Amino acid sequence: MKYIDEAIIQVVAGKGGDGAASFRREKFIPKGGPSGGDGGRGGSIFAIADRNINTLVDYRFARLHRAKKGENGRGSDCYGKGADDIVLRMPVGTVITNAATGEVVADLEHHEQKVLLAKGGAGGLGNLHFKSSTNRAPRQFTFGEPGQEFDLKLELKVLADVGLLGMPNAGKSTLIRAVSAARPKVADYPFTTIHPNLGMVRVDQNRSFVMADIPGLIEGAAEGAGLGHQFLKHLTRTRLLLHVVDMAPLDESTDPVREAKAIVEELRKYDESLYRKPRWLVLNKVDLLPENEREKICKKFIRGLGWKGKSFTISALSGDGCKALTYAIMEHLEQNSEIKHQEPVKPDAQIPDPLRGLG
C-alpha cells in the first residue's frame, strides 16, 4: 500500500432539530396548554487514535464527513431524537490542524485517545418552555443551532525511538534491515527509499526499540529540494538521531565531510528543536575501505567534521559493529526514558555542536 501521511478533510457536524409549537387537544381537557417538545441535538464528529492503523489513505479518498441533523420536536411533549455521532479512527501520531488558521486542534499521541473535531448543534426549544402565568398559550419556539464546520489538515508523524538521517545511498535502509525485521527496498541508486520505514529492533527478549528510516536528504532539503524534506517531520518525535555517513562513496570526488555538514545545516534550517536532539554519528561502509587505512580515514573524517559526540563505525551490509550500536542505543534510551516527554533542550545547553569552531 502506498504510504499516505497527509490529507485534508472537511467535517460538518449535524444541525440541531427545531423545537415544536403544539397544544394538547384531548377530549374532556379544554385548553390543555402547550405541548411542543424540543429538537434533538445534531451529531458531533470525533477522532480517535488507533494503533492498528498506520496510514491516512482512507482520508485521501473520503474527504467529506457529515453528521446527521437531530430530529424535530413534536407535540404531546415528544422530544426529537439526537443524531448519532461520527467517530473517525486515525493512526497514532496524527496531528490535526485547522486548515484555515493553522491552529493545532489535536495531537493523537496515545492509543484510544479521543478528541472532538466538530460539535453538533443544540436542539431548539419547544413552546412548552415559554409558558408562564401571563403567557398561557405561547406560540414561540426556537430553531436548532447549526453544527460546526471545519476544513482540517491531517499530518501523520510516525512514532519511533530512533531516527536515521543521511544522504541518499548512505546505507540507512541496509542498516534497518540488518538490525530489524523491516525489509525496505535496497538498491545501488539514490532515493531508493521513497516513504518512511519502521523497524522493531529487539536487543534482548524483553528489550526493544523502534527505528525509523526516512528518504535521504540533500542540500537544500529544508527549502523543498529532494524527497527527505517531506518526511523530516517524522523525526521530531524520536528520542535519538543516527547520522549515517557513507565512508566509501561511489563517486571519488564526493567529500563525505561536506555532505555531513550539509545534513546538519538542513536540520538547523528545518527545526531548531530537531537540530538540538541527541545525535550520534554512524560511519557506514567501512568494510569497503582498505583495512590498514580504515581507522586513519575515520579519524580524519571526525576531525574534519569537528565532531565531539558519540561515533560508531559499522558495515550495515555485513553486520559488523551493528550489535554494539544497538546495545548502546538501548542503554541510552533506558537511561533517558524518564525525560522522554520533556520539553526540547534549550539552545544554551551543553550539547556537542558539529559545526562549532569550523569557521
pLDDT for 220 equals 52
Does residue 196 share a domain with residue 62? no
Does residue 174 share a domain with residue 128? no
**Torsion over CA of 54, 187, 249 and 158, rounded to 10 degrees?**
0
Does residue 183 share a domain with residue 151? no
The CATH number for 62's domain is: 2.70.210.12
Q: How far apart are CA 68 and CA 85, in angstroms?
A: 8
Contact 196, 212 (CB under 8 A): yes
pLDDT along the chain (359 residues), means of 10: 72 95 81 88 95 83 94 90 94 90 90 94 92 86 94 85 84 86 53 62 85 67 48 78 88 82 82 86 90 90 89 90 92 73 38 37
Does residue 139 share a domain with residue 242? no
353 within some domain: no
Does residue 327 share a domain with residue 193? yes
19 within some domain: yes
Does residue 166 share a domain with residue 23? no
Cell numbers given for 236: 521530531
Query: 33-36 long-range contacts, Cβ below 8 Å, gap at least 24?
Result: 33/128, 33/131, 33/136, 33/137, 34/126, 34/127, 34/128, 34/130, 34/131, 34/137, 34/138, 35/75, 35/76, 35/77, 35/126, 35/128, 36/73, 36/74, 36/75, 36/126, 36/127, 36/128, 36/141
352 within some domain: no
148 within some domain: yes
Does residue 114 share a domain with residue 42? yes
Paired strand residues for 199: 211
357 within some domain: no
Does residue 329 share a domain with residue 217? yes
229 within some domain: yes
Domain residues for the domain of 195 are 162-339
Domain final position from 130, 156, 182: 156
Q: How many domains does the chain have?
A: 2
pLDDT for 343 equals 40
299 within some domain: yes
pLDDT for 264 equals 84
The CATH number for 168's domain is: 3.40.50.300
331 within some domain: yes
pLDDT for 235 equals 78
Name the burial class of residue 113, with classes exposed (0-12), middle (13-18) and buried (19+) by CB atoms within 10 angstroms of its CB: middle
Does residue 12 share a domain with residue 128? yes
CB count, 10 Å around CB of 249? 17
